């Protein structure tokens, strides 16, 4: 496993995303991931699976302190007290005294960014979380969150894959030492039959998915949380640190496409 360092914290470069997982499927995926060597698990209040994630972490043959655990506050919780109360409910469901990273899930135009970030900062001060961050914030929204937060904003978790390279946001994060956490790095399966990724991957005896994940992780300051449930796919997503794409290959893989990005989001919403 490789790590990205931010705010003095070593964050495992590959984690497990759990969107649209629940029940035994979720518990089994998290348990298998931890068995295979994952030490970074992502959930959210809106996923309705915090209890399943927490149970899997609790019974794993891994100390809680070794697992970098993230959850996210649903943006409808927009007042200080609502946010604090919701996070304590999350901790109860997760069966832990703290999370390693607490994010606001989406920007809410009806909420005060200062109040939201103030609540996250207070939760950090009280020990409910070790770090705070945001998710789905664009560059200007991230800049404002950092300006009003008394705690370091260590990451922005966004959709990031070859068809959605987030170049403007990535440049800002790299310049400001903010970790970019890539969700849906496989474009909800959209990379699986891509001819460019297939051809480049063949050179390294890797799948198109592994090639896309390598592309994401080869950027400075990027971690990724691909979703997977089978042992085969979980293992394959870890097996991406033994090869390196050339500069030419990195450029060939990156192909911004509104169509492909839109299809990725649609596949995610439909659960396909």
22-71, pLDDT tens digit by residue? 999 999 999 999 999 999 999 999 999 999 999 999 999 999 999 999 99
Q: Which long-range contacts (CB under 8 A, 24 or more apart) does 229-232 make?
A: 229/21, 229/25, 229/28, 229/29, 231/32, 231/36
Residue 272: predicted pLDDT: 47
> What is the average pLDDT score of the chain?
95
| The pLDDT of residue 268 is above 80 | no
220-245, pLDDT tens digit by residue? 999 999 999 999 999 999 999 999 99
Q: Which of 3, 38, 47, 172 is catalytic?
A: 47
The answer to whether residue 160 sits within a structural domain is: yes
115-170, pLDDT tens digit by residue? 999 999 999 999 999 999 999 999 999 999 999 999 999 999 999 999 999 999 99
Domain residues for the domain of 95 are: 3-189+219-241
Predicted TM-score (pTM) of the model is 0.94
The answer to whether residue 58 sits within a structural domain is: yes
Percent above pLDDT 70 for the chain:
94
Residue 257: predicted pLDDT: 72
The answer to whether residue 197 sits within a structural domain is: no
47 is catalytic: yes
The answer to whether residue 11 sits within a structural domain is: yes
The total domain count for the chain is: 1
Percent above pLDDT 90 for the chain:
92
**Token pair in block for residue 223:** 């971690």
The answer to whether residue 209 sits within a structural domain is: no
CATH code (residue 171):
3.20.20.100
The answer to whether residue 76 sits within a structural domain is: yes
């Amino acid at each position: 496993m490789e790590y990205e360092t931010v705010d003095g914290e070593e964050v495992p470069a590959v984690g497990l995303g759990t969107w649209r997982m629940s029940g035994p499927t979720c518990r089994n995926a998290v348990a298998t991931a931890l068995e295979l060597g994952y030490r970074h698990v992502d959930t959210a209040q809106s996923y309705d699976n915090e209890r399943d994630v927490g149970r899997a972490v609790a019974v794993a043959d891994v100390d809680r302190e070794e697992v970098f655990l993230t959850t996210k506050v649903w943006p409808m919780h927009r007042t200080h007290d609502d946010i604090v109360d919701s996070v304590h409910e999350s901790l109860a469901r997760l069966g832990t005294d703290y999370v390693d990273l607490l994010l606001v899930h989406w920007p809410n135009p009806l909420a005060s960014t200062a109040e939201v970030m103030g609540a996250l900062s207070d939760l950090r001060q009280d020990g409910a979380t070790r770090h705070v961050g945001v998710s789905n914030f664009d560059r200007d929204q991230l800049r404002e969150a950092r300006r009003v937060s008394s705690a370091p904003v260590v990451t922005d978790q966004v959709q990031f894959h070859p068809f959605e390279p987030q170049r403007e946001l990535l440049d800002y994060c790299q310049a400001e030492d903010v970790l970019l956490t890539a969700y849906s790095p496989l474009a909800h399966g959209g990379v699986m039959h891509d001819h460019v990724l297939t051809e480049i991957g063949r050179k390294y005896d890797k799948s198109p998915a592994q090639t896309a994940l390598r592309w994401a992780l080869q950027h400075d300051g990027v971690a990724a949380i691909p979703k997977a449930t089978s042992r085969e796919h979980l293992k394959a997503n870890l097996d991406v640190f033994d090869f390196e794409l050339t500069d030419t290959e990195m450029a060939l893989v990156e192909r911004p496409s509104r169509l492909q990005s839109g299809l990725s989001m649609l596949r995610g919403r439909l659960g396909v």
